[in-house]
Amino acid sequence: MTPIQNKVFKSLEGKERILSFYNQILSQFPAMQRYVDTIYGKTFVLECGLPENPPLLLLHGSCSNNAFWATEIFALSKAYHVFAIDIIGEAGNSEENRYDPAADEYALWLKEVLDKLQIRRIIIMGNSFGAWMALKFSTAFPEYVAKLILISPSGITPIRPEFISKSEEYVSRDKNKSETFDDSIIGESDIPQKAKDFIMLIVQNFIPMTDALPVFADSQLQRLTMPVLLIAGENDVTIDAHETARRLAALAPMAETHILQGCGHILTNVLDIAVPFLEKEGLK
Whether residue 165 is predicted with pLDDT greater than 70 in this model: the reply is: no
2 lies in some domain? no
- Find residue 187's DSSP bridge partners: 263
pLDDT at 212: 84
pLDDT 10s digits, 65-113: 999 999 999 999 999 999 999 999 999 999 999 999 999 999 999 999 9
Amino acid at 129: F
Instruction: Report d(CA 22, CA 16) in Å as an integer.
Output: 10
> CA–CA separation, 131 vs 147, rounded Å?
13
Confidence band for 25, pLDDT divided at 50, 70 and 90: very high
Quick one: average pLDDT of 197-208?
Answer: 94
According to the model, what pLDDT value does residue 90 have?
98
- 7 part of a folded domain: no
170 — pLDDT class (breaks 50, 70, 90): low
pLDDT at position 164, please?
A: 62
Domain that holds residue 119: 12-282
Mean pLDDT throughout 219-246? Answer: 97
pLDDT for position 137: 98
Of the candidates 22, 12, 62, 32, the one whose C-alpha atom is nearest the C-alpha of residue 163 is 62
Residue 111 lies in a domain: yes
Contact assessment for residue 14 and residue 31, using Cβ atoms and an 8 Å cutoff:
no
pLDDT tops 50 at residue 181:
no
What pLDDT shows up at residue 168? 55
**Domains identified in the chain, total number:** 1
- The predicted-structure confidence for 253-270, as pLDDT tens digits, reads as follows 999 999 999 999 999 889
Q: What is residue 34's three-state secondary structure?
A: strand
Strand-pair partners of 45: 34, 85
Residue at 89: amino acid letter: G
DSSP secondary structure code for residue 90 in this structure: S
Q: Which pLDDT belongs to residue 172?
A: 56
The span from the CA of 108 to the CA of 159, in Å, is: 24
Classified as helix, coil or strand, 126 is: strand
Alpha-carbon span 213 to 159, nearest angstrom: 7
Tell me the pLDDT band of 283, cut-offs 50, 70 and 90: very low
| Residue 145: per-residue pLDDT | 98
Whether 4 maps to a domain, the answer reads no
148 occurs within a structural domain: yes
pLDDT value of position 194:
83
Say which CATH number the domain at 55 has.
3.40.50.1820
For residue 190, what pLDDT band results from cuts at 50, 70 and 90? low
Quick check: is 6 in a domain?
no
pLDDT in tens, 114-139: 999 999 999 999 999 999 999 999 99
Q: How far is CA 281 from CA 146, 150, 198, 234, 241, in A?
A: 12, 19, 38, 28, 27
Residue 195 confidence (pLDDT) above 90: no
Whole-number Cα distances in Å, 10 to 47, 168, 171, 206: 29, 15, 10, 6
